[in-house]
């Protein structure tokens, strides 16, 4: 059996695909997995041939840039308009490339994780009469999946299927697939990871992460709070995952604003391959509200301060955060204007660092939302769907 998998554009679109690939190999060891990525993807190098992925193919891909709450004003932004026009032709080229690729591979099925590269692959799969399954992790289906939804063999979803606009008989609840390395963290495991990462001498460890591509507004807000937090907690360390495009700028910012002794307590990373060790070592996580990230934190049972991005299409991060906040599983700090409320963010961090029992409660509550079998459930759905269509 040959299965094509596609996703990309962000870690939230790539990592779930890799988790499903691992489960596919466990359930069907001889299946051939071909990952299709956009040649324009900044995180495309996360997926390499070997291990669970047998081959990697690149095609042209383009996205439609739109921002929640901006409305028609987006049409007046010339740079955005030019990029959207350029990417329209990239999608056409990517569709032609996908048609040729699927004709050569002759896959039994295609799995599409709602990223923009999935549109040309999905269209090509339809025209090649290859069954495909989509995956939506957020409460609002992605534009990419909506464009190819009509002819999908099945829709896998992370939340109760009643909230999705797909046919009920083709919609299957599976949860959010995460790598098996994300599991409940014990105190002993946390201490071990701290020692391995050189954080064993600190009393408090905060991990701040905005995703694989970074989050400029969140980065800036966190950096502004560091001198104040270090003044209050003389034995605190910060691990800041700033995104590949922002690593040099953020290092310079910390070099300018912190004393030499304080600067030694900040670890800046553009991207982390073994994120599970850093999240597991942290006492508190500050993050955006991507569905994949929240699922990873839930699997580990970590206390989180979440700053959802209000500008992403459909406000899907706002919806992700609202659902967990309603169950008091996370602490939410809203972002207004162009940055998060700095006082609210620092206040939330201080309150949780000063209250270990509340951190434990948050982590325990969030862990109740963990779905450790999601990747296995989705892999089973894919195999059953593609076998039945052979």
Whether the CB-CB separation of 209 and 171 falls below 8 Å is answered with no
Q: Over the stretch 234-272, which tens digit does the pLDDT of each residue have?
A: 999 999 999 888 888 999 999 999 999 999 999 999 888
3-class state of residue 128 by DSSP: coil
Whether the CB-CB separation of 27 and 45 falls below 8 Å is answered with no
Mean pLDDT of the residues in the chain:
89
Q: Which CATH number fits domain 2-177+372-388: 1.20.120.1200, 1.10.1740.10, 3.40.640.10, 3.40.50.2000?
A: 3.40.50.2000
Q: Over the stretch 100-129, which tens digit does the pLDDT of each residue have?
A: 999 999 999 999 997 788 999 999 999 999
Residues of the chain with CATH 3.40.50.2000: 2-177+372-388, 187-367
222 vs 224: CA distance, rounded Å? 5
Residue reference for tokens 């001198």: 227
367 vs 183: CA distance, rounded Å? 9
Query: If we measure between CA atoms, which residue out of 297, 278, 277 comes closest to residue 287?
Result: 297
Residue reference for tokens 């991507």: 290
For residue 338, pLDDT over 50 is answered with no
Element (H, E) at 94: helix 78-105
Q: Over the stretch 71-107, which tens digit does the pLDDT of each residue have?
A: 555 556 677 667 777 777 788 898 999 999 999 999 9
Q: What is the 3-state secondary structure (H, E, C) of 191-213?
A: HHHHHHCCCCCCCEEEEEECCCC
- List Cα–Cα distances, 297 to 209, 276, 370, in angstroms: 12, 9, 8
Q: What is the pLDDT of residue 201?
A: 95
- List Cα–Cα distances, 371 to 28, 108, 121, 238, 301, in angstroms: 22, 27, 28, 28, 12
Question: What's the residue count for the chain?
Answer: 390
Beta pairing partners, 35 = 5, 56
Whether the CB-CB separation of 279 and 207 falls below 8 Å is answered with yes
Q: Which CATH number fits domain 187-367: 3.40.50.10680, 3.30.460.80, 3.30.930.10, 3.40.50.2000?
A: 3.40.50.2000
Whether the CB-CB separation of 95 and 125 falls below 8 Å is answered with no
**Which structure tokens are listed for 363?**
């982590």
């Amino acid at each position: 059996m040959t299965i094509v998998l596609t996703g990309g554009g962000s870690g939230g679109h790539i990592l779930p695909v890799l988790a499903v690939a691992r489960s596919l190999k466990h359930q069907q060891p001889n299946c051939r997995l071909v990952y299709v990525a956009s040649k324009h993807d900044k995180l495309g190098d996360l997926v390499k041939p070997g291990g669970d992925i047998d081959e990697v193919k690149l095609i042209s891909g383009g996205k439609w840039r739109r921002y929640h709450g901006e409305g028609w004003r987006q049409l007046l932004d010339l740079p955005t308009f030019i990029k959207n026009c350029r990417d329209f032709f990239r999608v056409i080229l990517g569709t032609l490339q996908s048609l040729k690729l699927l004709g050569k591979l002759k896959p039994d099925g295609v799995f599409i994780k709602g990223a923009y590269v999935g549109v040309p692959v999905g269209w090509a799969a339809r025209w090649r009469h290859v069954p495909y399954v989509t995956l939506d992790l957020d409460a609002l289906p992605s534009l990419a999946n909506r464009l190819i939804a009509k002819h999908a063999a099945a829709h896998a979803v992370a939340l109760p299927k009643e909230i999705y606009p797909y046919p009920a008989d083709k919609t299957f609840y599976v949860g959010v697939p995460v790598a098996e390395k994300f599991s409940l963290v014990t105190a002993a495991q946390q201490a071990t990871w701290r020692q391995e990462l050189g954080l064993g001498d600190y009393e408090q460890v905060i991990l701040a992460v905005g995703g694989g591509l970074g989050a400029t507004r969140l980065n800036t807000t966190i950096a502004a709070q560091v001198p104040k937090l270090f003044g209050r907690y003389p034995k605190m360390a910060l691990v800041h995952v700033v995104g590949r495009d922002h690593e040099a700028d953020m290092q310079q910012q910390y070099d300018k604003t912190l004393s030499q002794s304080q600067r030694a307590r900040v670890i800046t990373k553009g991207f982390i391959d073994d994120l599970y060790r850093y999240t597991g070592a942290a006492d508190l996580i500050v993050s955006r509200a991507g569905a994949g990230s929240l699922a990873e934190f839930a699997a580990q049972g970590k206390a989180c301060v979440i700053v959802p991005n209000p500008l992403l299409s459909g406000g899907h991060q706002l919806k992700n955060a609202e659902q967990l906040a309603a169950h008091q599983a996370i602490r939410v700090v809203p972002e207004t204007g162009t940055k998060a409320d700095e006082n609210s963010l620092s206040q939330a961090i201080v309150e949780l660092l000063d209250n270990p029992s509340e951190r434990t409660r948050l982590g325990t509550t969030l862990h109740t939302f963990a779905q450790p079998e999601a990747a296995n459930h989705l892999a089973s759905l894919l195999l059953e769907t593609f076998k039945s269509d052979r």
